[in-house]
Amino acid sequence: MIKVATWNVNSIKARLPNAMEWMRTAAPDVILLQETKVQDNDFPYLEAESMGYRVAARGQKSYNGVAILSRIGLAEVTKTLPGDPENGEARYIEAMLEDGMRVASIYVPMGQSTTSDRFPFKLAFLDAVHDRARDLLTREEPFVLGGDYNVAPEDVDVYDPRGWDGHVLFHPEERARLRRLFHLGLTDAFRALHREPHCYTWWDYRAGAWQRDLGLRIDHLLLSPQAADRLVASGIDRWCRDKDKCSDHAPVWCELS
């Protein structure tokens, strides 16, 4: 059994005690982190390695940043996304595990607002993820594309779908981009096993969103058919969001046989 998790940690240094507690408790074999907010040299390698993880990181000072932590070993690390509208932002890292499964940690731009020039950048980034997934599918190998996609797929993934409709995180254009990934044949690991409502992964720090459960499900683990065939469990570790000095995201995980 392999447990793969994704988590927008919202600064690995600020959340390190929480992250280490979660790693000890949840014990994922592979962790895909986003928004680490540190340059490569400042990533807490020693702490991760003390818990049995090998680390591949693509960092950026104060912003963005992605990493892969693996107890299975890492090979063929790639730190660029083909077709990405390159602007120096650390948003993608991919690696082959020593057991033959490929994983990627993805931090899709939020987009700011639909009138911002960041919104077309977000759509172009999602297009690049689609093209990379399409290319990987031709290899017929198991892979997991996990991360903070900054898109809620369906009404059930938003606490107020009518109020959010047309806004960033739930705009028709970005939702269509995410559906294109599903139409390729990728499986949403969480929704494949859970159809119940009020299953969110992100709650704003403001306006008591956490306490009122006003959340969105914007963090996803997307599985190739070869990985989806092995899916046996999935979940969201909401308890992490209730910790002192917590990230505004909760980890999402799946188990593959």
Which domains are assigned to the chain? 2-256 (3.60.10.10)
The reported pLDDT for the residue numbered 86 is 64
> DSSP per residue over the chain, as a string?
-EEEEEEE-S-TTTTHHHHHHHHHHH--SEEEEE---S-GGGS-HHHHHHTT-EEEEE--SSS--EEEEESS-EEEEE---TT---SS---EEEEEETTS-EEEEEE----S-TTSTHHHHHHHHHHHHHHHHHHHHTTT--EEEEEE-----SGGGBS-HHHHTTSTTS-HHHHHHHHHHHHHT-EEHHHHH---S---SEE-SSTTTTTTT-EE--EEEEE-HHHHTTEEEEEE-GGGGGSTT--SB--EEEEE-
Contacts of 77 (CB under 8 A, 6+ apart): 56, 68, 93, 94, 95
Is residue 117 flagged as an active site residue?
Answer: no
Which pLDDT does position 179 carry in this prediction?
A: 98
Indicate if 149 belongs to the active site. no
* b/e 57-70 (16+ beta carbons within 10 angstroms → b): bbbbeeebbbbbbb
**Gap between the terminal Cα atoms of the chain:** 4
Question: Which pLDDT does position 91 carry in this prediction?
Answer: 97
Model's pTM, two decimal places? 0.97
Catalytic residue among 107, 149, 159, 200: 107
Sheet strands side by side (includes 187-188): 74-78, 92-97, 102-107, 143-148, 219-223, 187-188
Place of tokens 């003390």: 50
Return the closest-CA partner of residue 136 out of 257, 232, 226: 226
Which residues does the chain have with pLDDT short of 70? 86-87
Out of 29, 84, 148, 219, which one is annotated catalytic?
148
pLDDT of 239 reads 98
